[in-house]
Chains A and B, each alone.
Chain A
Amino acid sequence: MKRAKLVEFLACTCLILSLFSFLPTLVFEGIAQSGSAVVFVDPSNVTCGVGNYFSIDIAIANVSDLYGWEFKLGWNASLLDESSVNEGPFLNSTGPTFFTYYLNTTDDHVVVDCTLLGEISGANGDGTLANVTFYTNAAGNTSLTLYDVTLIDSSEQQIPCTSQNGSAVIETGDAKIYDLNHDGKINIIDISIVAKAFGTSPGMPGWNPIADVNGDGKVDIKDISLVAKHFGEDP
């Protein structure tokens, strides 16, 4: 009888020890849920026409001693093309930084990393981590999914955080905007208006804001292709 109790006691001990091996995960998840730092897409909802650019910020709120960060942002590549990724001012207002990103074209996401440099304290409060600009290819809805967000403090420890996704609605473009001379037809005259201003940007001789069809601050092949795509239409 005594032996049986001893065996049961040992078995219970082993079970308790094996449960402890799961404890770190449970504790970490508990911290993450109650953590105060939030990384989010700003604005959370974007509406844009086909053939245009739009930008979103990846922002952070309520963080302390942020020294380095990493996030992945995913989207529907049949609707959007990533155009540029730029560092936001939050970390580099504290000190010099190193910023890098990698666009994974096979999996439709970008990995973005940034760290402060040197033995200094991290950034506090709210701000913008990065800015991402997209070009809209086709109409539809897509999520702008933030995941694998990692925040590191100046002691090289992970800061608990949560993340909030965004979304974009891409609407079919109104063909009227491609009728540049408003004569009711999209024809060679409209293309020639763009061609005449080709290669210019604001302040340059020949700059014509009407010819900047997609509104990206320069007249280039994208503007010509947008008008050409609607060639012959009577809007």
Chain B
Amino acid sequence: MEKAITGIMLAIMAIGIVSLIPSFVNADDVSIRGGEWVRMNGFIQEWNMTNGTTAATYGWITANAAIVNNNGTTHEWAIVHATWSDIMHGIHPLGSVNVTAPTVIGPNVSYTFDFYIAKLVNLTDLDFNSTVTGHDLYLVGLWNVSEITETINFTWSETAGQTTITWNEQPIAANANGTLVADFGGPSIVGTFALTIDGVGTLAGHAWESAIWFRELNICDFGETGKVDITDLVKVGRHYGEVPGFANYDPTLDLDGNGRIDMGDLTTIAANIQG
């Protein structure tokens, strides 16, 4: 009787433990599985420039990538973009706590930010958890990099405030070779990454989210619920119109990597809502 009760108890405990195991497991041969998906979001904290100087940096990198086995044929894709600045604006250069619209009528306010945006435009090599490269994520491709000068103006009429944003984009590299490597560390261990682009240097920092998944991970599925729906659309809607500099700017919602939460991001989600 005791053995039976103990067996039941252990079975219940085992079921409970299994239900807590996340999708984070060690990578294996992708051909055995349907595919592997990686999502990494990190803070850029350091910029080793090509002239040999190192600057303290504030910014973000978001990377989504997959190696999918489609009926015996392996397909690779990746969407990666980074936003960063080495110029301090107040407490943080881009996620400034000062840049929020005034709630009462007041003097006009203007903020100017200088930062960079890098975007992967062509993927040439991708590998996960490779013993060859020694990294959890190894991604090689061509990158476009631009310098952005952005001004956010808050102006007031007699009754209402208005926010206008001017955006000046200056390309500094086109189709430049670049490599992103990342080591995820594991659950509760902060990951690290380094993005090196010809003519730009190396951007390095820590990831607040980094994992290999063994089920399809849609870039629009922010909650990682397995489907894209109104909850994802609302999340972008709440941040609509925001740019780097706004206190609540969330780079993970910038799906098209243009540095702004705009109509392109909303329509991307709309196109991915499951029918």
Residue positions of A touching B, CB distance < 8 A: 3-4, 7-8, 10-11, 14-15, 17-18, 21, 67-70, 98, 100, 102-104, 107, 109, 111, 113, 115-119, 150, 152, 154, 156, 158
**Least Cβ distance of B271 to chain A in Å?**
9
Asked whether, in the complex, the Cβ of A107 is within 8 Å of the Cβ of B275, the reply is yes
A residues in contact with B230, CB < 8 Å: 68-70, 113, 115, 150, 152
Cα A140 to Cα B248 with chains together (Å): 53
| CB pair B273 A68 closer than 8 Å | no
In chain A, what residue has the closest Cβ to B275? A104
User: Which one of B234, B236, B266, B273 contacts A152 once the chains associate, using CB atoms below 8 Å?
Assistant: B234
Q: Are A117 and B237 in contact (CB under 8 A)?
A: yes
Question: Interface stretch among B5-13, B38-46, B142-150, B197-205?
Answer: B5-13
Tell me the bound Cα distance from A150 to B275 in angstroms: 14
* A-B pairs with lowest CB-CB distance, top 5: A70-B230, A115-B237, A100-B270, A68-B234, A104-B275
Which residue of the partner chain A has the closest CB to B8?
A11
B241 engages A118 (CB within 8 Å): yes
Those of B1-28 within 8 Å (CB) of chain A = 1-2, 5-6, 8-9, 12-13, 15-16, 19
Contact A118 B240 (CB under 8 A): yes
- Nearest B residue to A4 via CB reads B2
Interface of B is mostly: helix
Task: Provide the residues of chain A in CB contact with B248, threshold 8 Å.
Answer: 119
Q: Find out whether the CB atom of B19 lies under 8 angstroms from the CB atom of A21.
A: yes
* B229–A150 touching, CB < 8 Å: yes
In the bound complex, residues from chain B placing their C-beta under 8 Å from that of A152 are: 230-231, 234
Taking CB atoms, residues of chain A closer than 8 Å to B16 are 14, 17-18, 21
Contact B15 A3 (CB under 8 A): no
CB-defined contacts of A116 to chain B, threshold 8 Å: 237
**Chain B hits for A154, CB < 8 A:** 238
Decide if B12 touches A14 in the complex (CB within 8 Å): yes
Instruction: Let me know if B275 and A3 touch, CB within 8 A.
Output: no
B19 in contact with A7 (CB, 8 Å): no
Q: Encode contact with A along B222-251: 1 for CB under 8 Å, 0 otherwise.
A: 000000011101111110110000001000
A136 to B179, CA, bound (A): 58
Instruction: Decide: B233 and A119 in contact? CB cutoff 8 A.
Output: no
Q: Chain A's nearest CB lies how many Å from the CB of B218?
A: 15
CB distance from A39 to the nearest CB of B (A): 13
Q: State how many angstroms separate the Cβ of B115 from the closest Cβ of chain A.
A: 23
Instruction: Tell me if A115 and B12 are in contact (CB < 8 A).
Output: no
Could you tell me if A98 and B237 are in contact, using CB atoms closer than 8 angstroms? yes
Considering the complex, give the chain A residue whose CB is closest to the CB of B270: A100
Q: A113-B273, A117-B237, A150-B229 are in contact. List 9 more A-B contacts (CB 8 A).
A: A8-B5, A11-B5, A11-B8, A70-B230, A117-B240, A119-B248, A150-B230, A150-B231, A156-B231
Contact A100 to B273, CB < 8 A, known contacts A7-B2, A7-B5, A152-B234: yes
- List, in ascending order, chain B residues with CB within 8 A of A4's CB: 1-2
B165 to nearest A CB, angstroms?
14
